[in-house]
Amino acid sequence: MDSPLLNDREKHAVLWAEHVTKNTARSDDEVFAKVAKLFSEEEIVELTFVSAYFNFRNRFMDSLNIPVDVTEGKDAIKTRSVQANPDKLKAYLQFVIDNWPDEFPAPTPDE
């Protein structure tokens, strides 16, 4: 948090990612309040998604002992577009919206 290389938003994005990674985000209202001062609800959802996705990906690859070849990844970026197809993304998001539940089950209290 003291790095002169990051601005306040970047520092707080890293802070939030750290709490998502450690699974402490849900129980630390103070951290959420700090992050909420600099990010909209939509941005917090996106930060949470990206952090959770990369945690999932790392755990998946590590658990199955699948190496991540950095060179291969760089070569793929050079040879083909890595940009998402906007029409496919829109269709997927519409599918999510169309199938969003009207109600969610109440959370169970921690024991």
Alpha carbon 109 to its chain's center: 25
Structure-block tokens of residue 73? 């990844």
End-to-end CA distance of the chain: 33
pLDDT tier at 110, thresholds 50, 70, 90: low
- 31's CB contacts (< 8 A; 6+ apart) are 15, 16, 19, 24, 25
Q: What is the pLDDT of residue 2?
A: 85
Where are the alpha helices (H) located in 5-105, listed in sequence order? 8-22, 29-38, 41-63, 70-79, 86-98
The pTM (predicted TM-score) of the whole model is: 0.60
Q: What is the pLDDT of residue 16?
A: 95
Q: Is 75 helix (H, G, I), strand (E, B) or coil?
A: helix
pLDDT tens string 29-86: 999 999 999 999 999 999 999 999 989 988 888 888 777 665 554 555 455 555 667 7
> Could you give the CA distance from residue 44 to residue 42 in angstroms, rounded to a whole number?
5
